[in-house]
Amino acid sequence: MSTAAEAAIATNRFGLGARPGELARAAPDPRGWLLAQLRGGAPAIAEGASLERSDTILNRATALREAKRDASRAGGAQGAVQRIGAWYRSLYVAEVQARFGAAVASERPFVERLVHFWANHFAVSVDKAVVLGVAGAFEREAIRPHVLGRFEDLLFAVERHPAMLLYLDNFQSVGPDSPLARRASAARRRRDLGLNENLAREILELHTLGVNGGYTQADVTSFAHMITGWSIGGGRGRLAEGESGQFHFRANLHEPGAQLLLGRRYAQSGCGQGAAALRDLARHPATADHLAGKLARHFIADDPPAAAVARVADAFRRHGGELVPVYRALVESPEAWATPLAKYKTPADYVHSAYRGLDLPVDGKRSGLTAYELLGERTWSPGSPAGWPDRAADWDGASALLKRIEWADAVGERLGDRRDAQRLAPAMLGAVLTGKTSEAIARAASGAQAITLLLTAPELMRR
């Protein structure tokens, strides 16, 4: 394959779509252009944007709820509830727009894509109301700092983050034989004290081993026991202790005693028990296979060749879960460079590549969110902890295509002749731009129509 075609793959499949000039920069050494992006830490998001920390957000939410309870005693509760909801929505909108801006402007788009990949791997979903205010903070605090580090650190940051503990209910999971449960039982108050296995199951099934990773229901239950007490400080009533809005281990909720997971015995007491298990899960061979399969699907093809998956998994194991060598194995896989346009873009991919290619300003408060919603991929709302799917069949529906066409038409109308599609098309698509598309753009009836045709071209629907 020519390096021109490889540059198109580097910028569009590994990156987020070529900005003007990017293709030319990648062309001399497409692999080197990608690997250079992996040096240094992951860039922080939107310097200057006033985004709040999750503990600040959760503390303020607690204060608002207190105010609501006071108000409710005085006879008017509804207003305060709505204020929390509206405030959470405003935080969410600002976070999405900051993330959108980073995706459009990034000069390390490979890293930005990796942030999106891992955020989707460890998905939280804002259709659960408590997640709405902290989903953005979760990505900035738990995902972004670790995407170029070790998987184990990423995993720990995620599973101990308040957003995940809230989303998958673990903050209030109580060991059936924990000090608290025993006290309550002695006092004959059995109400709402007990295990919730949601987070434990999804860690095993989605975050680490994968659904075929060889665990049983008994493993789920005992792992759920091990992470009882992994909670958030500063809640109400029995959840009041601890640094407010931060991870807090509650010994009185923790199930005592040794547990068996995947045949291994964990006799530690307290928080260290779950941590030891989580560390072993991060290093388990099945975890390497599971993650390699997902990465290869994302960067190579919907059904990636087994040899490539094996190579990536091997890099994961050999480097003890260091992620940069894993990404290097992906970049160095010949399979990744064999077929241009092998992946159908998700709606977010599609919007990012259009904004980048046309060098559109990220203006307004919610231009990104409006586009994502219209095209069917509202940020951080996959509706389930499995995250958004990553195969063409999940995204290439007829109605979905019509939405993209309608959106492209609106972009064309808005820009008119303020962008020259004929000049921009080769800078976006390079070697994968077809004669047919060039010709259609050249013959367009107007500048606006030329942009619409560029944005609807088959080459732009795929990466």
Partner 1 sequence: MNATTIDRRRFLAAAAAVPLASRLVLAHAAAAPEARFAFILLRGALDGLAAVPPCGDPAYAGLRREIAIAPPGATHGALPLDSTFALHPGLIFLQESWRAKELVVAHAVATPYRERSHFDGQDVLENGGHQPHAFATGWLNRALAALPASRAGRGREAGIALGQNVPLAMRGPAPVASWSPSRLATLDDDTLARITDLYARDPVLSVRLADALATDDVARSAAMETAQRGARYGEALRAAGAFLARDDGPQVAMLDTTGWDTHANEGGAQGQLASRLGVLDSGLRELKGALGAAWSRTVVVLATEFGRTAAVNGTRGTDHGAGTVAFVVGGAVQGGRVLADWPGLAARALRDGRDLAPTLDLRALLKGVLHDHLQVASAALDREVFPESAKALPVRDLVG
Interacting residue ranges for partner 1, rule: CB under 8 A: 127, 168-169, 172-174, 176, 190-198, 201, 205, 211, 217, 220, 374-376, 383-384, 386, 392-403, 405-407, 409-410, 436-437, 440, 444-445, 449, 452-453, 456-458, 461
| Least Å from the CB of residue 133 to partner 1 | 18
Q: Which is nearer to partner 1, 364 or 383 (CB)?
A: 383
Under the phi-then-psi rule, with left for phi > 0, alpha for psi from -120 to 50, and beta for the rest, what region is 226? alpha
| DSSP per residue, 372-437 | HHHHT--TT--SSTT-S--SGGGT--HHHHHHHHHHHHHHHHHHGGGS-HHHHHHHHHGGG--HHH
CA distance 225 to 274: 8
CA distance 62 to 67: 9
| Least Å from the CB of residue 192 to partner 1 | 5
| Least Å from the CB of residue 442 to partner 1 | 12
CA distance 408 to 404: 6
Considering only CA atoms, which of 384, 363, 413 is closest in space to residue 100? 363
Q: Which is nearer to partner 1, 327 or 395 (CB)?
A: 395
Residue 261's DSSP bridge partners are 264
| Least Å from the CB of residue 445 to partner 1 | 7
Q: Are strands 264-266 and 259-261 parallel, antiparallel or unpaired?
A: antiparallel
Phi and psi at residue 249, to the nearest 5°: -90, 125
Tokens of 57: 């957000």
Q: Which is nearer to partner 1, 147 or 220 (CB)?
A: 220
Q: Which is nearer to partner 1, 168 or 329 (CB)?
A: 168
Q: Which is nearer to partner 1, 213 or 245 (CB)?
A: 213
| Least Å from the CB of residue 423 to partner 1 | 19
| Least Å from the CB of residue 276 to partner 1 | 23
Q: Which is nearer to partner 1, 3 or 198 (CB)?
A: 198
